[in-house]
Chain A
Amino acid sequence: MRGLRISAGALGVALMAAGVWALLFGADAQDPWVVAKWLLGVLVVHDGLVVPLTLAVGFAVSRVPVRGVVRGTLLVAAALTAVAGPVLLRPGPVQNPTVLPLDYDRNWVLLVVLTAGVGVLAGLAVKWRRGDRSSGPGDE
């Protein structure tokens, strides 16, 4: 097991080195400092902004009823929003009408509303099931 781990670790380092090599000396190599700035930039924005915001929202809903469903609904809506980000926000004209041909604002609103609706139904179902259970086996 130890040997396997060491070889896998060495393979990982070698693959990373291949990446650095490609960045510096590969075909059509780009300015490594600009790339490094972007790598650092996404790390800082994610760790300094995205996660703290997520944690704050998670804290805000930590005491609500059926919190699992509430958190799940928020999570699904956030994931759809993240993936929709580029098609919603892309600036500038598109190359031709077959690029971004859909009404993305409408589709995104539709999906978020749909997610919220499914969330409400799931929340009601969970509450109803719990209520059912807490009213006890004596009912049967």
Chain B
Amino acid sequence: MKLPLPRFPLAPPSFRGRLHDARTATAIGRWLGVAVAVCFVTGLISHYLQQPGMLADVLPSRPRWGYRVTQGLHVASGITAIPLLLAKLWTVYPRLFVWPPVRSVRHALERVSVAVLVASALFELMSGLLNTAQWYPYAFSFVPVHFAVGWLLIGSVVLHVAVKAPEIRAHWRRRSAGTLALPAEDAVDRRSLLTAVGVAAGAVTVTTVGQSFTPLGGLDLLAPRQPDHGPQGLPINRTAALARVDATTVRDWRLRVDGPRPYELTLAGLRALPQREVTLPIACVEGWSKSAHWTGVRVRDLLDRAGAPPGALIRVTSLEARGGYRVMVMPHTYARDPLTLLALRLNGEVLSLDHGYPARIIAPNRPGVLQTKWVARMEVL
């Protein structure tokens, strides 16, 4: 179906610059596609680890470094994608002014889907990057919107690849038919552009990835965190002051465990129980992570003492007055893992107040926000 062509007083801009071609778009686009796919999958993993819903009973507590790797990849692939996305959009920019603007209903739908693709890609990378710096300039809550627009983005990417499949195939290789039909003299410039885009993607990655991939910590120049910066060798997110926990709050602290055989323990009583030492990372949703040595009592032992059934969900409540993570629910896969501790010591010292003194949870393969600090109560649900 053809739509009538309107007469427009202004001619659309024309582009004499080179490299706005399908081969360049394909070459950059496939790197970008990989980065977006990794970012989406790792984002989903993070979402369901935090809000398991019906998956609560099947979330694995191993590998112990799982979340550290997936969330490190989520943030790193998002950062890597920034120069890739900007370069890809620069390449295809002239198509914004295609004339006539709409040729058919199908063409109109395709253009709308591309607008959704571009807007959601820019939005996801921007909001994610701002979130790592804890910068929230918008009037909505970050998590549900970043989650929803993530589906919008991956859907429009899949649709875009389906629509463009013949063009992608024709320009997949340097010697593909479509590529060979392009002006041969552009090849040198294209190679230098692709090299520059690759170097840019590498540069932004190695200057930030040290916040989770600690061997590259020395190159961490632009990341919002540096894993070595923090009391007791570990960064923090929520301080005791923010949580309104202070020396008075914890003075007469007792742990209460509710179950078929409820009991209370003082700090001295907890210290008298068998202590275990584990090495587990704190891995934050914002992308930074760091491994540490923790000493404390196995959560499993505390639950057995209360007579908890093995498959029970556990509710852990913090001393903090308010906050979205004051109450945390722990599926049995974590609660029964021998690595999951109610930790009393960090890297050989008694926990500092900012790290959750007198006692905090540390579990394998779990987001940092669920490693509840200042634990006051554990309940068998």
Q: Using a CB–CB distance below 8 Å, which chain A residues touch chain B?
A: 1, 5-6, 8-9, 11-20, 22-23, 26-31, 34-35, 38-40, 42-43, 46-47, 50-51, 54-55, 58-59, 62, 68-69, 71-73, 75-76, 78-80, 82-87, 90-91, 94-102, 104, 107-108, 110-111, 115
Interface residues of B in 89-124 (CB under 8 A from A): 89-90, 93, 96, 113, 115-116, 118-120, 122-123
Give the interface size class of chain B: 35 or more
B266 at the interface (CB under 8 A from A): no
B155 in complex: contacting residue of A19, A28, A85, A108, CB < 8 Å: A19
A95 in complex: contacting residue of B144, B197, B242, CB < 8 Å: B242
- Check A75–B87 contact: CB distance below 8 A: yes
Known contacts A43-B119, A102-B229, then 6 further A-B pairs from the complex at CB < 8 Å, ordered by chain A residue: A5-B163, A30-B140, A31-B139, A87-B223, A96-B354, A98-B236
B327 at the interface (CB under 8 A from A): no
- Check A108–B222 contact: CB distance below 8 A: yes
Binding stretch for chain A, among B188-196, B273-281, B308-316? B188-196
Select the residue from A12, A50, A55, A110 with max chain B CB neighbours within 10 A.
A12
Residues of B within 8 A of A18 (CB): 151, 155
B129 at the interface (CB under 8 A from A): yes
B10 at the interface (CB under 8 A from A): no
Given A29-B144, A86-B132, do A9 and B224 touch, yes or no (CB 8 Å)?
no
Residues of B within 8 A of A108 (CB): 221-222
Given A51-B89, A86-B130, A86-B132, do A30 and B144 touch, yes or no (CB 8 Å)?
yes
- Check B86–A84 contact: CB distance below 8 A: no
- Check B159–A47 contact: CB distance below 8 A: no
Given A90-B135, A100-B133, do A47 and B148 touch, yes or no (CB 8 Å)?
no
- Check A99–B224 contact: CB distance below 8 A: yes
- Check B118–A46 contact: CB distance below 8 A: yes
- Check B17–A58 contact: CB distance below 8 A: yes
A-B contact pairs, 23 of them (CB 8 A): A1-B165, A8-B159, A12-B158, A13-B159, A16-B156, A22-B151, A28-B141, A31-B140, A34-B139, A38-B138, A47-B93, A50-B86, A68-B189, A76-B196, A80-B222, A82-B83, A83-B79, A90-B133, A96-B242, A96-B354, A99-B224, A110-B221, A115-B203
Q: In the complex, which residue of chain B has the Cβ closest to the Cβ of A71?
A: B196
Report the separation of the CA atoms of residues A17 and B225 in the bound assembly, to the nearest whole angstrom.
Answer: 36
Interface residues of B in 203-224 (CB under 8 A from A): 203-204, 207-208, 220-224
List the count of A-B residue pairs having beta carbons below 8 Å apart. 230
- Check A34–B155 contact: CB distance below 8 A: no
Residues of A within 8 A of B155 (CB): 11-19
Q: In the complex, which residue of chain B has the Cβ closest to the Cβ of A6?
A: B162
Residues of B within 8 A of A101 (CB): 225-226, 229, 235
